[in-house]
Structure 1
């Protein structure tokens, strides 16, 4: 089968978040997909399949080393990039429609690919017990938390707002204390100190990794929570600095007939292309 490894959320090789993409994978079993995802040992591995509906251009299954996800952001952008690069032709020139466990996801084509964040399946404030568990996992005091909310659009995210980017970068979490939590953290950069408006980190020990380099789904959830309130409706998030990466996530919240749509954009670059035998 054809194979690509795509660096997402960076215009330069090796500075974003890689996703492994297997083309024409309809004949693979669940066990084969899971085994290959464990073998790549990346945060996500995806498999491009024939769609089950005429509304979609392709179907995608997304695996971490620990299991399957209904949706994830950087695999969506990386897989759309790989599908287009391999010669895929969407029904519409300006949008690619992906079918996945979370339903149909639109990926807009333009200066860079951008996906429309799916609706939150869990939102709202964090209960005291969960907030205490989050503080233990992040090794911070409750007084350091500016706010916290559920921003789950599939992977299970809960998000924490800290005072500034420096506080985000200083975190040294206790992964053994996470339990079932997947925690995202965001803090603003002081004006004029960075090309990004906020710093983001995503901690996912339950997915078989400790920290995700750059995370589309988390950034979509954070924007759904904070954009237009504590953050502008258009901004850039930096992620990955703690892991030696330089991810940049471009957020834009636009009004539509059905309500606000969070668009999450990022550059994508193929770093490996060839064949894979599974």
Structure 2
């Protein structure tokens, strides 16, 4: 069998400097790979998600993205998995950037969602360079409320009092991926979390949640609206340092329950993993967009 060389990159997403944010493995020119091979590659990289860059099958989209967890589960929401791919496309000159803002369309699962590439150039003769990627998520959907805080707290290694935040229920919310948003009293309590994966999986399954997004209004950065951690035993993710598909729902949740007044929301994550991340959410009615930057930290060739 002839050896096949496939290029890959590692992009730190929602990051301003290398070795922070959420690392994404990105495989480009993946059109000749079967789904089974993509799943095997995702297991090989063992990142929370590995994204494969493909030609679009929809006329209205510029690129198609497929993303898999190490457990082989396909992720169809637009979060760090998509933002990292578009950062690389813009940075490597694969996109025609026509000014400070250029809009593209991405195919993810059954959705076609818009992407904004914000760019600048310091000298007139140089090409536009990306500064931020913005992506539209789907219209927010509010799902089931978890009604047993004591049992949920035990599954997280906490006390029931740690999850007692007046006026804020533990609720499933989706802007493309349904996650259980769990209010926690303090940043110190969030630091103490030690989830029992099997028990947490059962709680998530009972309310139709994919992952568990713990948040506290007690933040490190005073600009941030919430301090967060993300666990997803349903998809084989032990902990994620930056989760765009959960930050979007959280911003909508905080707006619904009157805990934010601005349409621009900053979410902080990853501190407990020593990978600080900043996720910006912009809300306009039912429109939800996430923004962030990336840093390409590695590249290489897969020899298959």
Task: After TM superposition, give the deviation of residue 97 of structure 1 in Å.
Answer: 1.3
Match of 1:126 in 2: 145
Match of 1:73 in 2: 79
Query: Is 1:252 matched with 2:257?
Result: no
* Conservation of the 8 A alpha-carbon contact between 1:80 and 1:96: no
In 1, the alpha carbon distance for the partners of 2:276 and 2:97 equals: 33
* Conservation of the 8 A alpha-carbon contact between 2:146 and 2:171: no
Task: After TM superposition, give the deviation of residue 193 of structure 1 in Å.
Answer: 5.8
In 1, the alpha carbon distance for the partners of 2:164 and 2:201 equals: 20
Secondary structure (helix, strand or coil) at the match of 2:77 reads coil
Describe the superposition over 1:124-177 as per-residue Cα deviations: whole angstroms up to 9, x where unpaired: 341425x55532322334442322111134443110122333332332222231
* Conservation of the 8 A alpha-carbon contact between 2:157 and 2:192: no
Task: After TM superposition, give the deviation of residue 250 of structure 1 in Å.
Answer: 1.2
RMSD, aligned CA: 2.3
Match of 2:12 in 1: 7
In 2, the alpha carbon distance for the partners of 1:83 and 1:132 equals: 46
Q: Determine which of 137, 146, 152 is the counterpart of 1:117.
A: 137
In 2, the alpha carbon distance for the partners of 1:196 and 1:75 equals: 22
Q: Determine which of 137, 144, 153 is the counterpart of 1:135.
A: 153
Describe the superposition over 1:46-101 as per-residue Cα deviations: whole angstroms up to 9, x where unpaired: 10111011211100001001111112400110011122233323698611211011
User: How many pairs are equivalent?
Assistant: 271
In 1, the alpha carbon distance for the partners of 2:160 and 2:144 equals: 15
Q: How does 1:112-191 map to 2 (within 5 A)?
A: 112-120=132-140, 122-128=141-147, 131=149, 133-143=151-161, 144-146=163-165, 147-180=169-202, 181=204, 182-189=211-218
Match of 1:30 in 2: 35
In 1, the alpha carbon distance for the partners of 2:31 and 2:253 equals: 36
Task: After TM superposition, give the deviation of residue 24 of structure 1 in Å.
Answer: 1.3
With the length of structure 2 as denominator, give the TM-score of the two structures.
0.81
Query: Is 1:270 matched with 2:296?
Result: yes
Alpha-carbon distance change, 210 to 150 in structure 1, aligned in 2, over 3 angstroms: same
With the length of structure 1 as denominator, give the TM-score of the two structures.
0.88
Alpha-carbon distance change, 33 to 164 in structure 1, aligned in 2, over 3 angstroms: same
Query: Is 1:218 matched with 2:246?
Result: yes
Secondary structure (helix, strand or coil) at the match of 1:61 reads strand
Secondary structure (helix, strand or coil) at the match of 2:38 reads helix
Match of 2:95 in 1: 89
Task: After TM superposition, give the deviation of residue 106 of structure 1 in Å.
Answer: 1.5
In 1, the alpha carbon distance for the partners of 2:139 and 2:164 equals: 25
The gaps in structure 2 that reach 5 residues or longer are 1-5, 119-130, 205-210
* Conservation of the 8 A alpha-carbon contact between 1:43 and 1:64: yes
Secondary structure (helix, strand or coil) at the match of 2:237 reads coil
Match of 2:26 in 1: 21
Task: After TM superposition, give the deviation of residue 199 of structure 1 in Å.
Answer: 0.3
Task: After TM superposition, give the deviation of residue 102 of structure 1 in Å.
Answer: 4.6
Query: Is 1:197 matched with 2:225?
Result: yes
In 2, the alpha carbon distance for the partners of 1:28 and 1:61 equals: 11
Greater shift after overlay, 67-76 or 3-12? 67-76
